[in-house]
Amino acid sequence: MCGIAGVYRSTDGTGIERMLAWLSHRGPDGRGVVAADSGVLGHTRLAIIDLDGGRQPMEHDGALICFNGEIYNYRALRNRYLRGQALETDSDTEVLLRLYRTLGPGCVRLLEGMFAFAILDGDDLFLARDPIGIKPLYLARSGDTLLFASEIKALALHADQVTTFPPGTWYHSRFGSHTYYEIAQGWPQNGMFETPDQAITAIRAVLRAAVHKRLLADVPVGVSLSGGLDSSIIAFLACAELDQVETFAVGMEGSADLEAARQMARYLGTHHHEYVYTRAEMEAVLPDVIYYLESADPALVRSALPNYFLARLASERVKVILTGEGADELYAGYDYMRSIASPEDLHRELETSIRELHRTNLQRADRMFMAFGVEARVPFLDVESIALALSLPSEWKQAAPGEPTKMLLRRAFADELPESIVQRPKQKFSAGAGSMYELAKVAEERFDNQTFARERQRLLHRWGYRLRNKEALYYLDTLRAVLPERLIMPEMGVSRSL
């Protein structure tokens, strides 16, 4: 896990050094800049695999790579496709670079993991991003020069406009852009199982395999444990594989998450750590949260605040953490999904919400943990897990009145978790941690009605953005102190579950 930056059709290494200065939090373990004939690559390193040998940018046979992410199947790919080659490291970075040199752009279809990377190969540039955009990548142009970086702020001094590099896509300077992954690909919809009971066995197996992959590391691994269903499932599966697991929870005094997480930690026998924060602390760290988040979406900021405290706490003991991101989008966990009219409409909504994750919850997870040099991994969003979930009939997922959401997941792990956890109603992270409405009160005190109305009209006219409330204005005003609107508004996601 790292920060990457680069330019193509320029050899300005000074510019890359300035870009890396904005990404230093993403890579506290090292920094490198290497120039080639056609461009310059820069890298800030968070060392997770092959701590001594994985320094970047890395060169092989005239090609140069900077890489952010993890390839969980890199050893299997090395054994199959690079047999006979004498590798110099045990890093996934070197395997990735050699795969490209051996197989070309199509190598990205073989990768299991999360990634954003750039390769300079002679006069050619190759860029790629993982299937659903767990790892970030942004592009900008300055004249004939193409610039790219892990975060918008690294490009702010170099361009008037920044665009998101699409998930599931690769780009080659000679061959153009190609989509290599579609959300709906994989298991056939409604074609695998006749009953929910048959699907439950597959759900358990796929999630067990997804967690197993994500325990790959040469550094300590922990679990974010809110005491909700999703994080409890991940913690249970991690405990089945590791002798000892570190779990982490945060919340305001008396919050529901803290008590549920304590209960689950006792049940699993983890080394459990927690942090209790106050409204004053939230106000104090909000500028930092928004600086790293690069978004003013209210739902995203609300949940980023507890994530910030969680990441800070986890960074004291681990460098990798597993989270429960994605389960609500796969198994219809949000309350608004109860009222969707038909199974077909629900399926479309689930697909759309997954496609938008790279602008919402995944952006929050990446930015908050990387602010403290911690790599967040998301087992529910393994491509096999996505394919399985979207293959299941939507009517199996939609909660009936009075019934908890995500019944398939609850039934799949009912025998493994305490009943109080299995039956615990879905709560947004910000609600469970107790912080959901605290800063809305601050916003009401900060802006009068006239100011809000004026800004609402201006933003709608200029950007087509509907300012929902004073809380949204509070966050946007804070973000504008860091980044200009021209870089914020076109790329900002809007959470569907607000």
Q: Give the type of residue at 150.
A: S
- Look-up: residue for tokens 């990768």? 111
With CA atoms as reference, report the closest residue to 225 among 313, 316, 335, 300.
Answer: 313
Residue 402 falls in which region: left (phi positive, over 0), alpha (psi -120 to 50) or beta: left
Torsion of CA 489, 492, 497, 498, to 10 degrees: -40
| Cβ within 8 Å of residue 143, ≥6 positions away | none
The radius of gyration computed from the CA coordinates of the chain, to the nearest angstrom, equals: 22
Whose structure tokens read 């993403």? 26
User: Taking the mean position of all CA atoms in its chain, how far away is CA 47?
Assistant: 18
Residues 6 or more apart whose CB falls under 8 angstroms from that of 488 comprise 152, 294, 295, 296, 476, 479, 480
Which phi and psi (to 5°) does residue 318 adopt?
A: -135, 165
Q: Identify the CA nearest to 32 among candidates 93, 86, 82, 90.
A: 93
For 183, the token pair is 């959300």
Residue given tokens 């912080």 in the structure block: 435
Cα separation, 255 vs 276, whole angstroms: 9
Residue 353 CA to residue 365 CA, distance in Å, equals 16
How far apart, in Å, are the Cα atoms of 291 and each of 192, 221, 246, 448?
Answer: 45, 26, 28, 25
Q: 3-state DSSP call for residue 161?
A: coil
Is there a catalytic annotation at residue 107?
no
Indicate the Cα dihedral angle 385, 390, 396, 397, nearest 10°: 80
The 3-state DSSP class for residue 182 equals coil
Helix 196-213 vs helix 229-239: angle between axes, to the nearest 10 degrees? Answer: 60
Burial 158-171 (b: 16+ CB within 10 A, else e): bbeebebbebbbbb
- 3 vs 292: CA distance, rounded Å: 13
From the candidates 2, 66, 107, 239, give the one annotated as an active-site residue: 2
Give me the active site residues, please. 2
